[in-house]
């Protein structure tokens, strides 16, 4: 079957499948329709040929493009040929929908073919009863490894690590190590380091594969190993672990337990996923929507958003109460009511700019006690400078629009005050929330907006009442 641009779905396809995506990186509708038709016809031959060749990330994109009943039918039709690692590439809701419709016996068979980190990623979302039933069907060694990983808290290095690794004693020679890597069938498919351990399985050092290839067979591993200066505790937060990779340009890192015993390895492909996940979480939290996913139901999405909307409702009433103090002033000059949204909007946007930079700097640890003072001073000066520029333009427009120079001076003065307040609020609120253990990404925007609204209205209406001699 071909689409209108000449892309052929079938036996001529290669292992790499850029042809299933359009120029914008979106999976082609014709390919989705082709797969949907094969599912409807229960054409397992066509599905095995066109879907079985996909990379796990491509299969994940396809699963997200299909309708729920089509996903389930596709998994059922592919049977043992379905690549379960693709479930690590889809939203949690889609993953659970697929897994919940499969017998635990089939999941247990599939899990045995996965890397341990992928297996944990799929198992961790299941009910404890289903986890226990699936794990009970696994070989003893694999069951112990997965249970150990699942015992670590969520979003830690222990949950993300791969428990398959290569470890040898320091007294082995390079030749023995090479023979071991060639002959042992239980080693991981891909690795870049060989770890060195003592009899108690404590981490001693590591040797890069390129170093092994360059060294003569008779040389002891202990003579060519290097100390692993960046071993990661299994209980370390995954974001902290990702920061270690970023700071020291790591490709892989040993994961150790509380007794410094080697329990796993964290690799760069998992860290890239962590970085993307944490960035998405921060972005969503700044919008007050929690850990929401596109595949979530209407009720789940609503439940995620309502709490912070209720908080926003309270802060909105605080801003409204400030306006109510100047009811008589507004009645005397309608222009004030026209210009109030301008003051609030510009102040809110300025505060959001500063807050976004601050929250991101806190997340990446670029902002700390050593440079906080300098950054605060910089943001305040930026706020005053921007306030002066905007105030000049806004004051001129207001004076010409309403034929009132005094009104132009009032709103210009109020804008400088509000820009100053926005800069302070945008940096101090995230810093204070972080200092007291709250997540600045999830709550800063609401409180920053409240401050800029309250200060903006107070400055504008208060100055108008005093300067223009209006009743308050």
The CATH architecture annotation of domain 298-467 reads Orthogonal Bundle (1.10)
Please state the pTM of the whole predicted model.
0.69
Q: Please calculate the CA angle 176-177-183 and round it to the nearest 5 degrees.
A: 85
Distance CA 386, CA 420 (A): 9
Cα-Cα-Cα-Cα torsion 71, 76, 79, 83, nearest 10 degrees, comes to 10
Q: What is the pLDDT of residue 5?
A: 40
Distance CA 268, CA 245 (A): 8
* Domain ranges within the chain, ordered by starting residue: 18-155, 167-286, 298-467
CATH topology of domain 18-155: MgtE N-terminal fold (1.25.60)
pLDDT truncated to tens, each residue of the chain (472 aa)?
444 444 445 444 444 455 788 888 889 999 999 999 999 999 999 999 999 889 999 999 999 999 999 999 999 999 988 999 999 999 888 999 999 999 999 999 999 989 999 999 999 989 999 999 999 999 998 999 999 999 999 999 999 999 999 999 999 999 999 999 999 888 888 888 999 999 999 999 999 999 999 999 999 999 999 987 789 999 999 989 998 998 888 889 999 999 999 999 999 988 998 888 877 777 666 666 666 666 677 887 787 778 878 888 888 888 888 888 888 888 778 888 899 999 889 998 999 899 888 888 887 778 878 888 899 999 999 999 999 999 999 999 999 999 999 999 999 999 999 999 999 999 999 998 888 887 787 778 888 889 999 999 999 999 988 887 766 5
- Helices then strands, counting H and E runs in the chain, come out as 21, 6
pLDDT digits 0-9 by tens, 212-269: 999 999 999 999 999 877 899 999 999 899 989 988 888 899 999 999 999 999 999 8
277-281 contacts: CB < 8 A, separation 24 or more? 278/238, 278/239, 278/242, 278/363, 281/441
Strand pairing partners for 266? 253
Domain 167-286 homologous superfamily, CATH: CBS-domain (3.10.580.10)
CB 264 within 8 A of CB 158: yes
pLDDT digits 0-9 by tens, 325-356: 888 888 778 888 899 999 889 998 999 899 88
CA–chain centroid gap for 271, Å, is: 11
């Amino acid at each position: 079957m071909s689409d209108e641009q000449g892309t052929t779905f079938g036996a001529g396809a290669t292992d790499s499948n850029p042809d299933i995506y359009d120029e914008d990186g979106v999976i082609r509708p014709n390919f989705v329709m082709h797969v949907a038709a094969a599912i409807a016809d229960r054409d397992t031959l066509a599905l095995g040929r066109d879907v079985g060749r996909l990379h796990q990330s491509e299969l994940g994109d396809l699963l997200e493009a299909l309708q729920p009943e089509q996903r389930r039918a596709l998994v059922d039709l592919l049977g043992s040929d379905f690549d379960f690692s693709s479930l690590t590439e889809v939203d949690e809701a889609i993953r659970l929908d697929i897994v919940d419709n499969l017998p635990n016996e089939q999941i247990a068979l599939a899990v045995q073919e996965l890397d341990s980190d992928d297996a944990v990623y799929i198992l961790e979302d299941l009910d404890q009863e289903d986890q226990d039933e699936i794990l009970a069907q696994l070989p003893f060694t694999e069951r112990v490894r997965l249970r150990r990983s699942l015992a670590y808290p969520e979003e830690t290095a222990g949950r993300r690590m791969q428990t398959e690794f290569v470890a040898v004693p320091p007294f082995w020679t390079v030749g023995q190590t090479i023979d071991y890597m060639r002959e042992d069938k239980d080693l991981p498919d891909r690795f870049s380091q060989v770890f060195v351990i003592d009899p108690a399985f404590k981490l001693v050092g590591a040797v890069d594969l390129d170093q092994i290839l360059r060294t003569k067979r008779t040389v002891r591993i202990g003579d060519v190993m290097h100390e692993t200066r960046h071993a990661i505790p299994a209980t370390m937060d995954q974001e902290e672990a990702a920061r270690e990779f970023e700071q020291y340009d790591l490709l892989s890192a040993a994961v150790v337990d509380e007794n410094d015993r080697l329990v796993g390895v964290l690799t760069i492909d998992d860290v890239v996923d962590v970085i993307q996940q944490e960035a998405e979480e921060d972005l969503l939290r700044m919008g007050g929507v929690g850990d929401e996913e596109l595949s979530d139901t209407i009720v789940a999405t609503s439940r995620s958003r309502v709490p912070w909307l209720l908080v926003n409702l309270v802060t909105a009433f605080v801003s409204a109460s400030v306006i109510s103090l100047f009811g008589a002033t507004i009645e005397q000059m309608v222009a004030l009511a026209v210009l109030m949204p301008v003051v609030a909007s510009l102040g809110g946007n300025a505060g959001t700019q500063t807050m976004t930079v601050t929250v991101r700097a806190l997340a990446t640890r670029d902002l700390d006690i050593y440079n906080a003072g300098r950054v605060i001073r910089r943001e305040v000066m930026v706020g005053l400078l921007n306030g002066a520029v905007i105030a000049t333009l806004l004051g001129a427009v207001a004076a010409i629009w309403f034929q009132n120079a005094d009104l132009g001076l009032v709103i210009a003065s109020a804008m400088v005050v509000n820009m100053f307040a926005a800069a302070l609020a945008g940096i101090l609120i995230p810093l204070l929330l972080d200092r007291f253990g709250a997540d600045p990404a999830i709550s800063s925007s609401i409180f920053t907006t409240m401050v800029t609204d309250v200060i903006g209205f107070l400055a504008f209406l208060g100055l108008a009442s005093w300067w223009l001699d209006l009743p308050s």
